[in-house]
A and B are shown apart, each in its own frame.
Chain A
Amino acid sequence: MTNTILIHIDHAEGSLQRLIGLIERRGFHIERMTINDAGAGREVRVSVRPRDASRCADLLGRQIDRLIGARRIAPAAAASSVHVEEAVPCPA
């Protein structure tokens, strides 16, 4: 399942590299990415697909939130919560 995440990142050196590295390192393929200037920063719309069924887009979103200078504007659309049971799947 493909998920699309909208992220605002600052212009600091390495910020785009940091974001792309995080997404791939955490087990997602980047299928599409668009970058637009957004005043003081950049708006990145990225569509990602998990490498295997154990990868959770909600969790990826929270890992993106940990990046300094990056902020999710919209969480993963069509979030693919794979851990569905009584438990809370990848809680926000």
Chain B
Amino acid sequence: MSAAPMQKPAAQTAPVTGARLVVEALDHFGVEIVFGYPGGAIMPVYDAITGARFKHILVRHEQGAAFAADAYARVTGKPGVCMATSGPGATNLITGIANAMLDSVPLIAITGNVASPLMGTDAFQEIDILGCTLPIVKHSWIVRDPADIPAVFAEAFHVATSGRPGPVLIDLPKDVQVGAVAAPGSPYPLNEPARRVDPAQLRRAESAIGAAQRPLLYIGGGVRIGAATEQVRAFARATGIPAVATLQGLGVLPNDWPGFLGMLGMHGMRAANEAVQQCDLLIVAGARFDDRATGKLAEFAPHARVIHIDVDAAEIGKLRDAHIPIAGDLKTVLTQLNPRRPAIDDWRAQCIEASARHAFRYDAPGEGVYAPALLKELSEKAGDAFVAACDVGQHQMWAAQHCRFAAPEAHLTSGGLGAMGYGLPAGLGAKLARPDAHVVTITGDGSFAMNIQELATLRRYGVALKIVLLDNSTLGLVRQWQELFFDRNFSEIDLSDNPDFAAVAQAFGIEAFRISRREDVSAGIERLLAAPGPCLAHVIIDPMENVWPLVPPGKSNSEMMHGD
């Protein structure tokens, strides 16, 4: 989305404050929801929002505001907006801003600051938030003159959403918020010429694809960001090339797409990793060779030439040389890329056979709840309306492995930063964006406790988010690594003194129940999905259950470990 140049506020007959200009800017750019938390240095803006068209959601912690805005942006494709005061309010946004940076999410973070004369004096609740966030924003501004507010917001919306999206920060000293402006500044010129895709590289790519014997499509999160899902599906259909996806690329191809081999990488499907290791041409669409996907980089796809397509030219060649680099908008590139269908029937059959041979099984022994089977059933029962807001840990990987996603917007996960605590506020933001969808937060007992306060936000606004809390009374993924790579020296992973999470949820006014036996899973899922309001299913699982398969850290994807 490109922001239109902002017009001067209509018919200003009296001076207007900077705070009022902030509200007018947010309304002008079509903001529907601002997630925030007030405090001293942002009070003038909070004073002005009572007349706003957008809705303000009062979270219970600023990190929750940033995560909720992030998820809102991922689901809608529009920028998410969060707001906080100076000092601790601003620093509490930082994890959420970093999350948006690493996953290329358009996020507008607005912070108040102490008045300009006090900046640099260590005043109460003063922090250099511009300096703190420099490495984790696409761009940032301190507004020094209230007349600049329209132009700064216009540029901020443009920067956040154009090219490779990302978070931006606007810091507003208190005197700028209260300062009166007779005539706000003129609109900022935002005409950015569309970048032309190099036709010579397109022809080279077509030639390489047509001649390949074992080509493979490598789908990343850039496909969702570039709204290129349909183009990728058309390309895969036309060429018949098998495909793998990163964690962020799941849902671009449906799980049952013929030739889709699933997720690659550390917890990927064996057939996906094998195909990568055997392919002779890797067509990379909006992926960045993240280490969780590649394993030992020097041994990743050792026989492959690489076609790398990305809107961000600085990603091409960053970690893996591209034989054919194509910098440009994915949708445009894929529309213009029309190779002949390669003769790969044997390769395609080999991939599909391997995928069937290594498919997950759901007949685990025992009577306890088997989390992978529960998640699979949950996503299937929710159907195409299913949207998962995942936390970080074993449950996150199980969700990626076993859930069915109809679209990439159906899988919200903190991929780059891996931020525990994302799931609950992300579910809040997603459900507010998609009230028609079955939005389910999939969380663990470690992650859930990190932003548990947002249960109060669900209750306050009646947000019908569903929560599946997989409780193994331990920090499961850390425990698994200690078991496998640290000689079973289980250090600081025990959470067996967890509270009764169902009782906690009920204390927040949220419907909650417990599932502890396998035979109760189906009825529990049905109860959860049918609940009219927010509802939590507290699911007790085996503390020793591991995520399989697994590529040990630093090893090649060809060295997968299996639990059976």
Contacts and interface: CB of A to CB of B under 8 A. Distances in A.
B322 interface: yes
Contact of B322 (A12, A58, A68, A87): A87
Given A65-B313, A87-B306, A88-B325, A59 B130 contact: no
B322 A62 contact: no
A68 B139 contact: yes
Contacts of A51: none
Given A88-B323, A88-B325, A17 B134 contact: yes
Measured as residues with beta carbon below 8 angstroms from the partner, the interface class of chain B is 20 to 34
B325 A62 contact: no
B141 interface: yes
B142 A91 contact: no
Contacts of B159: 68
A87 B323 contact: yes
B433 to A, nearest CB: 27
Nearest to A69: B139
Interface in B289-346: 305-306, 312-314, 316-318, 321-325, 327
B205 to A, nearest CB: 12
Contacts of B142: 13-14
A83 to B, nearest CB: 5
A40 B382 CA distance: 57
B134 A21 contact: yes
Interface residues of A, number: 25
B313 A62 contact: yes
Contacts of A52: none
Contacts of B164: 66
Contacts of A59: 314, 317-318
A86 B304 CA distance: 12
A83 B321 CA distance: 7
B414 interface: no
Interface string A1-41: 00000000000111001100100010000000000000000
A63 B318 CA distance: 10
A56 B244 CA distance: 28
Contacts of A83: 317, 321
Contacts of A21: 134-135
A56 B314 contact: no
Contacts of A13: 130, 141-142, 144
B141 A56 contact: no
Interface in B126-141: 130-131, 134-135, 138-141
B322 A88 contact: yes
B313 A18 contact: no
A52 B240 CA distance: 41
The 6 closest A-B pairs by CB, nearest first: A87-B321, A91-B325, A62-B314, A68-B139, A90-B317, A63-B314
30 contacts: A13-B142, A14-B131, A14-B134, A14-B140, A17-B131, A17-B134, A21-B135, A56-B317, A58-B317, A59-B314, A59-B317, A59-B318, A62-B314, A63-B314, A65-B313, A65-B314, A66-B164, A66-B312, A68-B138, A68-B139, A69-B139, A85-B321, A88-B317, A88-B321, A88-B322, A88-B324, A88-B325, A90-B321, A91-B316, A91-B325
